[in-house]
Amino acid sequence: MLNLPPYARVWVFQANRFLKPEEVTYVQDHMRDFIGQWASHGNELYGDFAVEYNLFLVVGADESKSPTSGCSIDSLNRKIREIGDVLGIDFFDRLKIAYEDASTKIHIASMGEFKDLMAQDRITGQTTVYNNLVENVGELDEKWRTIVKHSWHKNLLQIL
């Protein structure tokens, strides 16, 4: 997914809807340009990005070569917000949850809808979800696509 070491920092931005093929191309073109000039206090950052499942924009930076700063993270967020504004997509809605049904098709649900599906046992501790709170490439590879009982989503089960 990302051509970065396991300890590299990551940010996962989930869109509020699936991107169309031409939108994926737009995101890739603009992120390629951004990553090529991304800097922290004048130092080039060693980053990479990927669009996954036409839903997630994953961005990473190898902070062992050059640490990110508040300004560089702000510039990343600003760029993603700009891309989203052009495409009419919200990459910052943290109340949307991506999960898979039994056929591994990905769905997006609001927090309320997700809780309702849990109450109906249509989502269980074994349901595959995407934990967008992963912090590095190693976690992205091992813990991003996981099951509810191994993610922060399990806290929603306890609410019911």
Is residue 59 classed exposed, middle or buried when 0-12, 13-18 and 19+ CB atoms within 10 A define those classes? buried
Comparing CA positions, the residue from 48, 46, 40, 31 lying closest to residue 68 is 40
pLDDT for position 160: 46
- pLDDT score of 75 more than 50: yes
User: Can you tell me the mean pLDDT for 28-53?
Assistant: 90
- pLDDT score of 41 more than 90: no
- From residue 60, alpha-carbon distances to 5, 85, 115, 125, 147 in Å are 10, 22, 31, 29, 23
Of 68-77, 103-112, 151-160, the range with the lowest mean pLDDT is 151-160
Strands (E), 15-76: 39-40, 43-44, 47-52, 56-61
d(CA 33, CA 6): 24
Per domain, the residue ranges of the chain are 9-87, 96-159
Cβ proximity of 98 and 130 under 8 Å: yes
Over residues 111-123, the pLDDT tens digits come to: 999 999 999 999 9
Comparing CA positions, the residue from 149, 17, 13, 1 lying closest to residue 77 is 13
